[in-house]
């Protein structure tokens, strides 16, 4: 087992990893940009190294600086968190070539599942349900031909990434050529990979994902699913576990299929397989994220697991102690992402936090990397905190979250707390009658 972990990330996920490492008896190294010098993950790590200016390309995405920080501090493992370099197989290989342990999936497995087109091929091979789609599109003419074959509407997606970049919905043949070129440009800028592909577009799907935990000895568990349908511009806003939309028999079927797919592709570490659910309740494979997810706490709360600790132990060669029959969801958990943004325009709201009081009480967890007096930089993602509510039932979890949001004080900048309250108060959300267009429809009223 390694002894010192460098965390190649920032914010709440860096602090989350530091906590897991400390409980495992491991020392930690934080890296930070110049504007993050006073961040909490820097304060709570055993050591910290400045790796560059605010621009992520010169700091958190700068591989030589991260490796140098590991070497000068004597770190023997690297945890990438989520975002930044977390799904970059080349970074994982560099880490390993430098005789450091990579806390994540093997690079070959990252490529097999991280590239969206290759992942579709894998998913189909193992019998996962698929939407009609294509391989990599070779030209605008190819896109037109394939779209006509599949039938409109279709969606163009980036092969090398997600998060809404390189993603275009096309409803007619006249629009597809310009959408194809725009999607390729966005994909190249966002992921350094211009490849795009097509899928049939589902108008109002639900978004359901399954949590993978696999060790290096062939042991696999599927730690339930999460409902992530409350989104804005393909960015998740509220997540919950278990999904109120999934039938028990569908869950068991997916556990069987996913276990085989993960085991036979030699995947290990954490991973999340994402699906769309159509109006009939049918699931369709979308993609796999080869990292820890932002929303992992809702699974931790209902399953009683520390997923980040499991990820670290797996990287150290440990075997899973839990079997699939022991994975039992207890109660219901909901997570709200608190962002530094104008609740009316959704424009980012950087600046100094003049007062900060996170909620507490029974069944409430807050994962955050901010504090009163800290200045939110404009250079990174706007998420400040995640509030997680856990209760015996979904109805009780909603009520507990609503109470927690009333307690949350964050002054000096604008935050999206009122949007969360509006969502929770809506009759449709309380019934579980949601889709990925829920917020769009709510704001149009």
Return the active site residues.
291
Residues 6+ apart with CB under 8 A from 339: 382, 383, 384, 415, 416
The two beta strands, 47-52 and 27-33, are parallel
Tell me the residue length of the chain: 445
Bridge partners, 30 (sequence order): 7, 48
CA gap 36, 401 in Å, rounded? 30
Inter-axis angle of helices 173-191 and 140-150, to 10 degrees? 120
Cα–Cα distance, 33 to 378 (Å, whole number)? 13
Packing angle between helix 107-114 and helix 116-125, nearest 10 degrees?
90
Side-chain-facing half-sphere of 245: CA atoms under 13 Å? 28
Nearest to 17 by CA among 213, 238, 291, 239: 291
13 vs 295: CA distance, rounded Å = 11
Spell out the SS3 assignment of 10-29.
CHHHHHHHHHHHHHCCCEEE
Two tokens, residue 359: 């909620």
Q: Which of 426, 431, 377 is nearest to 402 (CA)?
A: 426
Element spanning 442, H or E: helix 438-443
Listing DSSP states for 156-209 in one string gives EEETT--TTTT-EEE-SHHHHHHHHHHHHHHHHHHHS---EEEEEPPSS-EEEE
Listing DSSP states for 194-248 in one string gives --EEEEEPPSS-EEEEEEEEE-TTS-EEEEEEEEEEEEETTEEEEEEES-TT--H
Neighbours of 423 (CB within 10 A): 20
CA 83 to the chain's CA centroid: 8
């Amino acid at each position: 087992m390694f002894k010192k972990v460098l965390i190649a990330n920032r914010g709440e996920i860096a602090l989350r990893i530091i906590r897991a490492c400390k409980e495992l008896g491991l020392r930690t190294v934080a890296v930070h940009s110049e504007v993050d010098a006073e961040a909490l993950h820097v304060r709570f790590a055993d050591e910290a190294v400045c790796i560059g200016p605010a621009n992520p390309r010169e700091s958190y995405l700068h591989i030589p600086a991260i490796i140098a920080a590991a070497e000068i501090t004597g770190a023997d493992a690297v945890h990438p968190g989520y975002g930044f370099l977390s799904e970059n197989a080349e970074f994982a290989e560099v880490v390993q070539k430098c005789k450091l342990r990579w806390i994540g999936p093997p690079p070959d497995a990252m490529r097999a599942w991280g590239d969206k087109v290759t992942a579709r091929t894998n998913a189909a091979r193992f019998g996962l349900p698929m939407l009609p789609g294509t391989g990599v599109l070779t030209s605008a003419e190819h896109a037109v031909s394939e779209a006509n074959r599949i039938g409109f509407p279709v969606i163009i997606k980036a092969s090398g990434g997600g998060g809404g970049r390189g993603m275009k919905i096309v409803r007619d043949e006249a629009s597809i050529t310009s959408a194809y070129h725009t999607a390729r440009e966005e994909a190249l800028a966002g992921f350094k990979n211009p490849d795009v592909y097509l899928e049939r577009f589902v108008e109002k799907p639900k978004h359901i994902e399954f949590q993978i935990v696999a060790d290096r000895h062939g042991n696999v568990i599927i730690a339930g699913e999460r409902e992530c349908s409350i989104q804005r511009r393909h960015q998740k806003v509220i997540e919950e576990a278990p999904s109120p939309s999934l039938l028990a028999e569908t869950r068991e079927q997916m556990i069987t299929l996913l276990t085989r797919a993960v085991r036979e592709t030699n995947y290990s570490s954490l991973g999340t397989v994402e699906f769309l659910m159509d109006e009939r309740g049918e699931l369709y494979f979308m993609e796999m994220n080869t990292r820890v997810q932002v929303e992992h706490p809702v699974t931790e709360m209902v399953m009683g697991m520390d997923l980040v600790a499991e990820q670290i132990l797996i990287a150290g060669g440990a075997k899973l102690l839990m079997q699939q029959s022991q994975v039992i969801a207890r109660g219901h958990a909901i997570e709200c992402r608190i962002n530094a943004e104008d609740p009316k325009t959704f424009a980012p709201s950087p600046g100094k936090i003049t007062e900060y009081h996170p909620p507490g009480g029974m069944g409430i967890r807050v994962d955050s990397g901010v504090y009163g007096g800290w200045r939110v930089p404009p250079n990174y993602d706007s998420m400040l905190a995640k509030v997680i509510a856990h209760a015996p039932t979904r109805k009780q979890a909603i009520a507990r979250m609503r109470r927690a949001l009333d307690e949350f004080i964050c002054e000096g900048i604008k935050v999206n707390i009122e949007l969360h309250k509006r969502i929770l108060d809506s009759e449709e959300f309380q019934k579980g009658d949601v889709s990925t267009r829920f917020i769009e429809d709510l704001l149009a009223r």
